[in-house]
Structure 1
Amino acid sequence: MTIWNLNLRHLRAALEVMRRGSISAAAQAVALTQPAVTQGLARLERELGRPLFDRRADGMEMTEAAHLLLPRLEAALGHIASPRVTMAQVRALILVGSAGSLAEAGQAGGLSQPTLHRAVKDLSLALRRKMTERRGRGIALTEAGHRTLRAFRLARAELMAALTELQALDGVEVGRVAIGAMPLSRARLLPGAIAAFHRAHPDITVTIVEGSHAELIEPLRDGDLDLLIGALRLDHPPVDVDQRALFGDRPAIFARPDHPILAQTDPWARLGDYPWVVPSTGTPLRAQWETMFRAAGLPVPVVPIECGSALTVRELIRNGDFLTLLSPDQFVVELQAGVVAQLGPAPGDLHRTIGITTRAGWRPTPVQADFIAALVAIANSMGKVIS
């Protein structure tokens, strides 16, 4: 089933029954009659295909399904944060926020433009804040709309995880793992983990989105990605994420095999004589590159080409006098093939910490936890694990 079939009022009532142990107390908490709560629970259980409570004379006892559902409901309804919001309004704002226009949103969701417009308008009235505004011939989210959109996306992620965990009770594996892959993870760590995970969970979809930390952190915060893999931000860690170290990495300098610097008796003194291709300012590796020059007592040169793609960097250094600073893990195949040459460890104590970044308080589903275990296992096999 899909989360859009669920009724938020029924979910709120079920949550209060879980918390309070009785229908009468829950009915008072959600301002509904006891028959309305009873009917809502019955419909919710039919939609989920399982009982959530054992009805007893002394109250309502939660089933295993209810125990799984409880923390997900608390998180989802906490993000939505208003009993006046309906599931149709949640869906409408997500569609409009993702598509950028009513026409595209309607096409993506199979809904008419008037239906979407009315749902978003009703949401604005319910929350007493304007969600959208006219921009030319289209519409755009207001600042309040963007904040609400993020909250609704996070609520969606919690409810989707809830359905996944409930189906797992029947021995059915469904769901996905959505990964934000930063450059270093793509060479060995991520492919190895995905291969091992797929052997154990062939029916689970793994979605990989490549990009820099700056490009991936907002989709993570929105709940569109489950985790990021790559260099951690340890100097100035974001306050709304958790970071888990996997292994340490020492960057090295690379050039083409016949590069003139390889013939120098003191190549470190000539580092500033050749053009460099390195990632953009603000990335950990760029900071490491600048530190390298300062450690060697050399002025930091101007960078003619900024690039974080190992594939592009490889072709640039093969076809010119460019130098680069990268992890040896990113050029394993190229080194074995003799396509590039390594000058050696970079001057200074250069190192990065590679690991996993997740939203603060994120609770993985069982299959997502298994994927993280696969990442840890591959990191262990690489022999560079940080304990």
Structure 2
Amino acid sequence: MLFDSTLRADLARSFGATLVVILTIVLTMMLIRTLGLAAGGRVSPQDVVLLLGYAALGHLPTMLALSLFISVVATLGRMYRDSEMTIWFASGVGLSRFVRPVLRTSWPVLVVIAALALFVWPWQNERAAQMKERFERRSDLSRVAPGQFQTSSDGRRVFFIERDSQDGRTGRNVFILSSSPQAESVTSARTGRIELQGDDRFLVLDRGQRNEQDFETAEKTLSRFETYRVLAGERVLAGVEELPPKALASLQLLAQPTPRNQGELVWRLGLLFGAANLLLLAIPLSASNPRRASNWNLLFALLTFVVYYNVINLSQAWVASGKLGMGAALTLFHGGAFVLALLLLWWREQGNRRFAWRRPRTPAAAAA
């Protein structure tokens, strides 16, 4: 039908334009954040683009749901302002008739959201965690940028080095400040290098001195050395069983129904149910008065989106803390949102029907 094809074409164009704008804004924000992590020494600068891609995949379900929601509200709102909705209502087309073309246009995006939330989200979290962990496992010396002071991974040492080799294991003019609750030491050396022995990594300093102060006794010690050897602190890569719930596959969450795992599963399913419920909510929320040139309906719709997704996070927190069961959370929050969407749709439908039955009285009818 002309009604379905026209509405679906408008929705598709609006969805594409909205998604491009939201992607641009979110990717810019995530790029700034990732560059900040790289500048702080928490991730490798070579992995910035890859981490940005993982972060974009993780936020893509929310961006798709928001784009769908805005496209429906904006398209139907334009039809209200251009009096197209008045023509359709006068022709006998009710507001509930818009549900079918909206769902027919949106169901492929809902399938993509489900796949991203249930399968891609844990995969990208696991890959990003492994990438950050591999970078943290590198020695403190190899992670220090030449000519810059930088703190070690445990926060107890400050390094300064002038890199002297291509492999990053040897440097000159090494400065190390080590601090602990009992003592503080300053070590400087002409050169430093990394040596591997089995699974251990040692930092070997040549021709330097070490100044140490004991806080308990206030004793100071100055020693010079030709060679100083110290074990570089390393961390073992966390196994799959130690990964956080957000990095576990959905089947693993079902196989291990702990409160935290169920909370994570409620959040993933909430992305899908929330996107579907927001589509139904967008239809009655898009209603506006064509005589008023305002976008209050769009602002109110965006507020609804923010509140709904905060409710999804709240449901995850309640289930993870054991205050609410998984089934009860899904029924209460998303079932309640579905019922609210149907009630709003019915309320708008009744109002449009009353409007459609009102006919201006003609002069002949008034005289009779």
TM superposition score normalised by structure 2: 0.20
Larger Rg: 2
